[in-house]
Amino acid sequence: MYVCGGRCCCYFEQFLAACSELGQTAPGPPWQLLVESMGVSIYRLHDEQSGLYEYKIFGGLADCPPKLCAEVYMDLEFRKQWDQYVKELYEKTYDGEKIIYWEVKYPFPLSNRDYVYIRECQEMDVDGRKIWVVLAQSVSVPQCPEKPGIIRVKSYKQSLAIESDGKTGSKVYMYYFDNPGGMIPSWLVNWAAKSGVPAFLKDMQKACCDYSKRA
């Protein structure tokens, strides 16, 4: 077992919780199925406090081994090559801790959003199953002040779990929540949930193929 990331692992239960989701085919109530598309099932849960939704995504990546998927997902420099929505993305160390800055392109006339967050990756061994888990959560650091014209996403949380599908690909589970702030049109929210996530996984699948070729 190993940890990559800026701080020591203090979220062991969260890592295990992400692993347990891979054994499910669907979350129970009150989670509701939003869409099934391109082999991906997306569920959502209304968050009463924010009025927004939390999401759980279940899917697969054919011909992409889990270790390769984890490497591609963690490689920020490579992501700038294949993710068309990345405007700026880098990792820096502040006070001994690695912090990631990420600016996301939004369609005109909406303002871009940016994130400041920490993440950790663990390779887990759960009852003989090898699972790669990534946790990410927004933080506030004075070294990354808000920028004019860009809306800072101050509430962001994500977990990702990947294991072999028993063949040459991977089973993937993802939990996602953020509060993008501002006035986001409902059509854009629906597009991001219903089409953006499956498209992202398809792009990642291609990125894994390209990544293995250059290794």
Query: Which amino acid belongs to residue 111?
Result: S
Cα 134 from Cα 119, distance rounded (Å): 7
pLDDT value for 5: 41
pLDDT value for 186: 82
Superfamily of domain 3-214: START domain (3.30.530.20)
pLDDT of residue 53 exceeding 80: yes
Residue 89 tokens read as 């993305």
pLDDT value for 50: 83
Residue 132 contacts residue 69 (beta carbons within 8 Å)? yes
The SS3 call for residue 159 is strand
Q: What are 8-45's pLDDT values in tens digits?
A: 445 688 999 999 999 887 898 999 999 998 788 999 99
Query: Which amino acid belongs to residue 81?
Result: Q
Cα 201 from Cα 207, distance rounded (Å): 10
**pTM value?**
0.89
Residue 61 contacts residue 69 (beta carbons within 8 Å)? yes
Domain residue spans of the chain: 3-214
Q: What are 162-180's pLDDT values in tens digits?
A: 999 999 999 999 999 999 9
Q: What are 59-103's pLDDT values in tens digits?
A: 999 999 999 999 999 999 999 999 999 999 999 999 889 999 999
Q: At what angle do helices 197-214 and 66-74 cross, to 10 degrees?
A: 100
pLDDT value for 108: 86
Cα 185 from Cα 193, distance rounded (Å): 13
Residue 26: Cβ within 10 Å count: 10
For residues 63-86, one letter each, b for 16 or more C-beta atoms within 10 angstroms of the residue's C-beta and e for the rest, the string is: ebbbebbbbbbeeeebbeebbeee
Residue 65 tokens read as 């081994």
Kindly state the DSSP code that residue 196 receives in the 8-state scheme. Answer: I
Percent of the chain with pLDDT over 70: 94
pLDDT value for 160: 96
115-121: average pLDDT? 96
* Cis peptide upstream of residue 66 (ω within 30 degrees of 0): no
Cα 175 from Cα 35, distance rounded (Å): 15
